[in-house]
């Protein structure tokens, strides 16, 4: 059996990747330190003989016994509520963590895929965003700890590819949603759905004219899987190009959840992108990939997941204790 290591395995995307690779007949090693992931996301895999889990911080040296064919590096805080609380750890997982994964892949002669992000484009001056756009990022702004960690991650990955001949792949992930998202992680879809389920008014930042495009998790995972087994070494956008304003999206959520909440407006956070839409021409051409699940269908599935949460989970505040993870 081919063996794959997935870092960030207890996270939203990482856990779905574990499912995908197991379904495709791989032996999967999941790795996570639970700084933002949760054991609940991989609990259903604990009795699977082709899955093993290692609790480990990837910013420390990684040791895997035996052969290893693929490494997928998905360990990182991914929502502002997390990386604004643990900025140094966010920078370290994108730099030291990536360096450790690259060193492991080199030692094992494994192919490595890193999870980059649409945030490398910053608040874009080009719309939609193509892979050859260099971005408009404020390196010293509050979001810079995440944006620059991912930009460095891409740079060191390409350096290993060029200097060591390492087989590498880079996926730039645009907004993705679906089951196993944390309800209170600060991103717009779980925020709106949580507010609707708690009979709270929906909070929109700014005037709501800023746009986003949302890709359902199954489509995202399919794109990542196809990229790993392609021959393309440069970054590839994977996302859904169907764009919607945040205000219109809030109204969609109210209609979906059949609630009568109002929309209230608050100040826009610093450096919050005003537009976010992927150009997926490259993915269509080299991967024969494009999203298949319409937002209406995906939102229904996601809402059903959030409705299944217990009352305790629904009303739990997002006050995670990061102290044990903070070393410097």
Residues recognised as catalytic: 146
Rounded distance between C-alpha atoms, residue 31 and residue 90, angstroms: 17
Rounded distance between C-alpha atoms, residue 118 and residue 120, angstroms: 5
Contacts of 162 (CB under 8 A, 6+ apart): none
Asked if 299 and 251 count as a contact pair (C-beta separation under 8 A), the reply is no
Asked if 4 and 26 count as a contact pair (C-beta separation under 8 A), the reply is yes
Asked if 26 and 1 count as a contact pair (C-beta separation under 8 A), the reply is yes
Q: What is the CA radius of gyration of the chain?
A: 19
* Alpha-carbon distances of 189 from 83, 243, 295, 303, 313, rounded to whole Å: 18, 14, 12, 9, 16
CB-based burial of residue 311 (10 Å sphere; 0-12 exposed, 13-18 middle, 19+ buried)?
A: exposed
Rounded distance between C-alpha atoms, residue 205 and residue 46, angstroms: 40
Rounded distance between C-alpha atoms, residue 113 and residue 102, angstroms: 10
Q: Provide the b/e sequence for 116-147 (b: ≥16 CB within 10 Å).
A: bbbbbbbbbeeebbebebebebeeeeebbbbb
Rounded distance between C-alpha atoms, residue 279 and residue 138, angstroms: 22
Q: How many other β-carbons are positioned within 10 Å of the β-carbon of residue 307?
A: 12
């Amino acid at each position: 059996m081919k063996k794959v290591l997935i870092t960030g395995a207890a996270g939203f995307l990482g856990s779905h990747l574990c499912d995908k690779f197991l379904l495709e007949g791989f032996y999967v090693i999941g790795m996570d330190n639970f700084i933002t992931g949760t054991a609940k996301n991989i609990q259903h895999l604990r009795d699977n003989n082709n899955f093993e889990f290692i609790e480990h911080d990837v910013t420390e040296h990684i040791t895997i016994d035996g052969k290893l064919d693929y490494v997928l590096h998905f360990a990182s805080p991914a929502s502002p509520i997390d990386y604004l609380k643990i900025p140094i750890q966010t920078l370290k997982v994108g730099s030291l963590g990536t360096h450790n994964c690259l060193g492991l892949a080199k030692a094992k002669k494994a192919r490595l895929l890193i999870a980059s992000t649409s945030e490398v484009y910053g608040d874009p001056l080009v719309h939609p965003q193509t892979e050859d756009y260099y971005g408009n990022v404020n390196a010293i702004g509050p979001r810079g700890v995440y944006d620059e960690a991912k930009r460095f991650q891409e740079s060191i990955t390409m350096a290993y590819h060029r200097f060591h001949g390492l087989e590498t792949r880079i996926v730039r992930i645009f907004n993705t949603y679906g089951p196993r998202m944390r309800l209170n992680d600060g991103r717009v879809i779980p925020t709106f759905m949580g507010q609707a389920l708690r009979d709270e008014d929906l909070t929109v930042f700014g005037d709501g004219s800023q746009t986003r495009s949302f890709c359902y998790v199954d489509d995202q995972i399919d794109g990542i899987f196809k990229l790993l087994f392609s021959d393309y070494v440069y970054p590839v956008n994977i996302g859904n190009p169907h764009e919607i304003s945040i205000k219109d999206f809030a109204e969609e959520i109210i209609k979906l959840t059949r609630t009568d909440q109002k929309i209230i407006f608050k100040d826009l956070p610093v450096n919050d992108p005003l537009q976010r839409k992927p150009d997926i021409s490259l993915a269509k051409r080299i991967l024969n990939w494009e999203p298949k699940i319409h937002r209406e269908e995906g939102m229904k599935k996601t809402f059903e997941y959030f409705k299944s949460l217990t009352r305790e989970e629904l009303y739990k505040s997002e006050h995670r204790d990061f102290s044990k993870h903070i070393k410097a």
